[in-house]
Structure 1
Amino acid sequence: MLKETPVSNPTRFDPFSIEPVSELFQGLLRPLRGFSLDESPLGHVRIDVSETDAAYEVKAELPGVDKKDIDVKLDRNTVSIHARTERHKEVKEGERVIRRERHTGEVSRTFSLASEIDDTRASAQYQDGILTLTLPKKTPADQKRLPIN
């Protein structure tokens, strides 16, 4: 006896519905983990930004970076963080390096905030691999009412 499927419930043909073939092709199209052509050896700067009525607070992860190798620039409402690290490849006599994952390189991050920053009152602290920026907002200039003649 032939079983009929109702026309109101059509199904679409999937050429990759065979389980082993499907997994093979999906695996080929999946991006490689931990590999990105545009990613620097240090990775990227991860940030947390919080806001109060008066200021922004930015916390940026920069593990293994020396404080003197961090550069922060403020331009109106734009924040740029640039860091560089250098590792000396010193090998002692009789020592053999098996694996080296710590890299030399640079990393930077630029982002914009909703309000302009008062760069004269801004401050930065670096402790335990965390850069903390306190960025007070500029107070808007008093609006001047223009009289109409």
Structure 2
Amino acid sequence: MANALMNRNNFDMLDPFERMAQSFWAPFEGLDQALKTDISETDDQYQVKVDVPGIDKKDVKLDYRDNVLSIRVQKQSFVDHEDKDQNVVMNERRAGTLQRQYALPNVAVDKISAAQTDGVLTITLPKTAPTTNAGHIDIQ
């Protein structure tokens, strides 16, 4: 009988273990939405714009390998505003790392440029001509 009472979910109330599980996974929810990105393409280039408000450019790492652009943002400058009387009502800001990857083929790696202005990171990836043999090797 006690188990039946504990497992009830009236009024959307969760048992203590469910609440603990949800609070454990909460920091990882929505990470794919944390780095809002727009990607445009022309005949000559890709342009990637990523919202990174409040992030210093030294905390952003960019990498392009195997036709994939990787963006890694690490924020370690979280300041806890809690005072000795614990008067904080809500605290949603977190320190941590976010990473996204985008498949963008045929890029001239030596000509990639990036700039960060007003909380927006803009990455320009000039295109190269695609290879015509697509990796085919003739045997002689």
Flag whether TM exceeds 0.5 (same fold). yes
Equivalent position amino acid for 1:89 in 2:
D
- Indicate whether 1:109 and 2:100 are aligned: yes
Q: Which has the higher helix share?
A: 2
Q: Tell me the secondary structure at the aligned position of residue 68 of structure 1.
A: helix
- Taking only aligned residues, the RMSD between alpha carbons, in angstroms, comes to 3.4
* Structure 2: unaligned runs, 5 residues or longer: 1-9, 13-24, 134-140
Equivalent-residue separation in structure 2 for 1:51 and 1:42 (angstroms): 21
Equivalent position amino acid for 2:49 in 1:
K
- Indicate whether 1:56 and 2:35 are aligned: no
Contact 2:81 2:88 in 1 (8 A): no
- Indicate whether 1:131 and 2:121 are aligned: yes
- Specify the alignment match of 1:147 in structure 2: none
105 and 142 in structure 1: CA distance in 2 versus 1, 3 angstrom threshold: closer
Indicate the percent of aligned positions where both proteins have the same amino acid.
32
- Specify the alignment match of 1:98 in structure 2: 89
Equivalent position amino acid for 2:91 in 1:
R
- Specify the alignment match of 1:87 in structure 2: 78
Contact 1:40 1:107 in 2 (8 A): no
Equivalent-residue separation in structure 1 for 2:89 and 2:122 (angstroms): 36
Q: How does 1:1-149 map to 2 (within 5 A)?
A: 38-39=28-29, 44-85=34-75, 86-91=77-82, 96-113=87-104, 115-140=105-130
TM-score by length of 2: 0.65
- 1:30-86 CA-to-partner distances (Å, cap 9, x unmatched) read xxxxx8674367952111111111110000111221110000101142100000112
| Cα displacement (A) at 1:101 | 1.4
TM-score by length of 1: 0.62
Look at both structures and tell me which one has the larger radius of gyration over its CA atoms.
1
136 and 63 in structure 1: CA distance in 2 versus 1, 3 angstrom threshold: same
Equivalent-residue separation in structure 2 for 1:93 and 1:123 (angstroms): 47
